[in-house]
């Protein structure tokens, strides 16, 4: 059976002249080279065709390309033909509820996509500045500490920064869960360089909760070559942009983990022969992060809201990758290993997490004042911790003792059980409206819970839940 080739008639065939891991050199003896970002196909005998992407022209006859699949067993001399265009992936309603890889190939063992599915190039320019709209609508999550101290913007970019094992993926999964009830748009999840187990858990959980039909999953797993991990977020963005621009629908874009995108770029950069920059990162770090983040924008009538998990290597928040990513964010949520070790979940650091939306003109004077008062009490408690550990709490002034008492109650009130951890903890997850969060914090600040047991405020939803717990404890003590 004869297949119609998508190769332009005048495109010459090259051949592989060198293979260095995920980077392949292709030589064209007597013709012009395909442009940068063009997709190439290497046809190997008996094996699936290998897709490459042109990265640079070394001389008039040789180009350097990045492979999207493993290059094991690839030989010199294998013919390579140009596709005549960049890598294009399927978009639109047909991909809803499906799991795709970086090339848009289905990986969920489901039925094939229809022939008329629209295709889009994974490379696109961000929307022009004049057509972008500012993001000032608050995106309520039901997670107390986020809604109070780091409100998220509809159409904004929020990132969860944390080291290994402090709860980034759990927090992103809980945010997905929280959005399902309130949020009626499309969700696109990009799993970049993450464990296959996590991807499988997310897929089965989405199937069980019935939200998969409004979600697209795009994976570039940890086991895949760096080229696939490097371009996976571009595939997810392309699908998101189609729903925003063509369908005028709001899109929630979730990425876990953006640090792995930088890491894959660093691997590719080394193989391309570039000199490393600070801390061994690629010299193009800022450009690569910007090319991804600047495409996440709101245009008239529709927005892409991005929630991203970012791994912090060795808990070093001054790492170049971390500082580069955080400079693009409206909302920065920092996860603390100290809080996680003390059992405060979500382990969000209230003093270092920030949001551009925490402004009295946006959230209102009442919310702003409460958030500032909470921060002030917690900051004072942090200052007093050294004195307490050295001399004991008895050495503090009466006012400072009161501050410590309220700060410890606030810390516990800002914890909450998650729906996604219910299977492990046995505690049902709760979603707390912002008005209840503000009322609870204000009551603690005003001293209404000074006589309550601290444990009554730990891992509950609203202050009413704590009241029930406290009353039950008093009755048990009396009995």
CA distance 315 to 162: 7
143-172 in b/e form (b: 16+ CB < 10 A) is bbbbbbbbbbbbbbbbbbbbbeebbbbbbb
In tens, the pLDDT along 55-109 reads: 999 999 999 999 999 998 899 999 999 999 999 999 999 999 999 999 999 998 8
pLDDT, mean of residues 8-36? 85
Q: Helix or strand or coil: residue 237?
A: helix
Q: Which of 29, 38, 15, 26 is nearest to 84 (CA)?
A: 38
Q: What is the pLDDT of residue 374?
A: 98
Higher pLDDT, 45 or 200: 200
Please state, rounded to an integer, the average pLDDT across all residues of the chain.
91
CA distance 401 to 393: 7
> 240 near 120, Cβ under 8 Å?
no
CA distance 21 to 38: 20
Residue bearing tokens 């990009």 = 190
Q: What is the pLDDT of residue 180?
A: 65
Residue bearing tokens 């003093």 = 351
Q: What is the residue-wise DSSP string for 93-158?
A: GGGTT-EE-TTS-B-SS-PPPPTT--EEES--PPPPGGGB----SEE--S-HHHHHHSPEETT-EE
> 92 near 117, Cβ under 8 Å?
yes
Global pTM reads 0.91
In tens, the pLDDT along 209-259 reads: 777 888 999 999 999 999 999 999 999 999 999 999 999 988 999 999 999
Describe the crossing of helices 398-413 and 434-445 by its angle, rounded to 10 degrees: 160
pLDDT, mean of residues 375-397? 92
> 236 near 295, Cβ under 8 Å?
no
In tens, the pLDDT along 314-340 reads: 999 999 999 999 999 999 999 999 999
CA distance 383 to 395: 14
Catalytic residues: 168, 194-195
Radius of gyration of the chain (CA): 26
């Amino acid at each position: 059976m004869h297949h119609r080739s998508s190769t332009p008639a005048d495109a010459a065939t090259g051949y592989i002249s060198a293979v260095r891991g995920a980077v392949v050199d292709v030589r064209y003896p007597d013709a012009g080279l395909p442009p940068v970002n063009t997709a190439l196909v290497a046809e190997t005998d008996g094996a699936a065709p290998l897709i490459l992407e042109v990265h640079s022209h070394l001389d008039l006859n040789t180009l350097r390309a990045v492979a999207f699949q493993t290059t094991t067993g690839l030989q010199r001399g294998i013919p390579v033909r140009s596709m005549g265009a960049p890598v294009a992936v399927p978009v639109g309603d047909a991909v809803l509820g499906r799991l795709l890889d970086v090339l848009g190939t289905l990986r969920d063992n489901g039925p094939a996509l229809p022939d008329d599915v629209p295709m889009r190039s994974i490379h696109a320019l961000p929307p022009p500045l004049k057509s972008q709209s500012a993001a000032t609508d608050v995106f309520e999550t039901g997670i107390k500490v986020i809604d109070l101290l780091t409100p998220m913007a509809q159409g904004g970019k929020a990132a969860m920064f944390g080291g290994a094992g402090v709860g980034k993926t759990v927090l992103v999964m809980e945010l997905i869960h929280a959005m399902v009830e309130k949020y009626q748009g499309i969700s696109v999840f990009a799993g970049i360089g993450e464990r296959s187990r996590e991807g499988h858990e997310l897929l089965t959980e989405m199937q069980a909760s019935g939200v998969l039909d409004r979600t697209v999953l795009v994976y570039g797993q940890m086991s895949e070559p760096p080229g696939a991990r490097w371009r996976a977020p571009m595939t997810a963005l392309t699908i998101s942009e189609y729903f925003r621009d063509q369908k005028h629908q709001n899109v929630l874009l979730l990425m876990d983990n953006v640090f792995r995108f930088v890491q894959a770029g660093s691997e590719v950069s080394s193989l391309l022969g570039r000199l490393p920059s600070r801390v061994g990162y690629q010299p193009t770090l800022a450009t690569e992060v910007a090319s991804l983040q600047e495409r996440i924008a709101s245009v008239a009538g529709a927005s892409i809201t991005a929630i991203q998990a970012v791994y912090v290597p060795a808990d070093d928040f001054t790492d170049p990758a971390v500082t580069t990513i955080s400079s693009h964010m409206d909302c920065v949520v920092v996860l603390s290993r100290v809080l996680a070790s003390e059992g405060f979940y979500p382990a969000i650091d209230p003093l270092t997490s920030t949001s551009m939306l925490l402004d009295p003109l946006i959230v209102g004077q009442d919310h702003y004042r409460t958030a500032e008062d909470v921060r002030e009490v917690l900051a004072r408690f942090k200052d007093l911790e050294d004195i307490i550990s050295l001399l004991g709490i008895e050495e503090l002034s009466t006012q400072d003792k009161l501050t410590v008492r309220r700060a410890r109650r606030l810390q516990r009130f800002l914890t909450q059980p998650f729906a996604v951890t219910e299977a492990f903890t046995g505690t049902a997850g709760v979603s707390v409206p912002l008005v209840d969060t503000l009322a609870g914090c204000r009551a603690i600040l005003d001293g209404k819970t000074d006589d309550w047991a601290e444990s009554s405020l730990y891992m509950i939803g609203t202050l009413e839940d704590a009241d029930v717990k406290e009353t039950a404890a008093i009755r048990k003590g009396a009995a």
